[in-house]
Amino acid sequence: MPRILMVEDDAQITELLETYLGRYGLEVMSVDRPSVALDKLRVEQYDLALLDLGLPEMDGLELCKLLKKQYPQMPVIISTARHDVSDKVVAFEIGADDYIAKPYDPRELVARIQMILKRYSQLSSPEEASVFAVDPVKMQITQEGQVLDLTQAEYEIFALLLQKRHQVVSREFIAGSVDAMRWESSDRSIDVIVSRIRHKIGDDPKDPRYIRSVRGVGYKYIGA
């Protein structure tokens, strides 16, 4: 189920869209402030972000710019009540994938979301298909379709490495972001859990296909 991160400070719109998009098989997580959206993105993955333009803390355009820099693979739609054409131009200039003026017909929004999701899914070619898939709702990770038998700490650490694929993730970052590690943050226990994950996914630490150790820092997911 595609997951949409909606940043909208109007509770009425939020409620309406959550229900409406839900009917079309789109799961909506709504937050009313950019800082909360950024917090969410640090721990979860979303397929698309829908941003209001007038927001507290920072403008939707500023937030879009930030998201495009940090999460270039996530499409962004900007929606706004302002009828200012210059906003629209700026939105596209800073990389927004679409722009929709309020009030709009929710059916139009659904159609645009579906179109963008389709376009992005075509961008990732079949040979780049992931070996592992994370289901954050069930807290499960599958390896080529098979559900892995992971403890909560193993799940959380592996999901984090997969989310930050091809980036080095430090032990400090793992200790700070993974709930199961907050009260037990010794580097050693992180290493023990990673070695258990490796064992379960059949990865050889000496010649890794998936998880590489980065000496003195942490780990990096190197697979597809």
- Crossing angle (nearest 10°) for helices 187-201 and 152-163: 80
| Residue with the shortest CB distance to Ca ion | 54
9 binds Ca ion (CB under 5 A): yes
52 binds Ca ion (CB under 5 A): yes
What would the DSSP string read from start to end of 151-162?
-HHHHHHHHHHH
User: In the complex with Ca ion, which residue's Cβ is closer, 22 or 54?
Assistant: 54
Cα angle at 118 between 25 and 158, to 5 degrees?
Answer: 75
CB distance 87 to 61 below 8 Å: yes
Kindly give the pairing relationship between strand 132-135 and strand 140-143.
antiparallel
CA dist 181 and 173 (Å) reads: 10
- Crossing angle (nearest 10°) for helices 34-43 and 60-70: 20
87 binds Ca ion (CB under 5 A): no
Return the closest-CA partner of residue 113 out of 195, 224, 6, 221.
6
**Shortest distance, position 140 Cβ to Ca ion, whole Å:** 36
DSSP one-letter code for 182: T
DSSP one-letter code for 106: H
Contact set for Ca ion, span 191-220 (CB under 5 A): none
User: In the complex with Ca ion, which residue's Cβ is closer, 51 or 150?
Assistant: 51
User: In the complex with Ca ion, which residue's Cβ is closer, 15 or 187?
Assistant: 15
Contact set for Ca ion, span 139-198 (CB under 5 A): none
Span from 8-16, 128-136, 147-155, 197-205 in contact with Ca ion (CB under 5 A):
8-16
- Total interface residues for Ca ion by CB under 5 A: 3
**Shortest distance, position 60 Cβ to Ca ion, whole Å:** 8
Span from 49-57, 63-71, 143-151, 164-172 in contact with Ca ion (CB under 5 A):
49-57
The Cβ of residue 124 has, within 10 Å, a number of other Cβ atoms equal to: 12
User: In the complex with Ca ion, which residue's Cβ is closer, 7 or 141?
Assistant: 7
**Shortest distance, position 11 Cβ to Ca ion, whole Å:** 11
**Shortest distance, position 74 Cβ to Ca ion, whole Å:** 21
User: In the complex with Ca ion, which residue's Cβ is closer, 5 or 161?
Assistant: 5
| Residues making contact with Ca ion (CB under 5 A) | 9, 52, 54
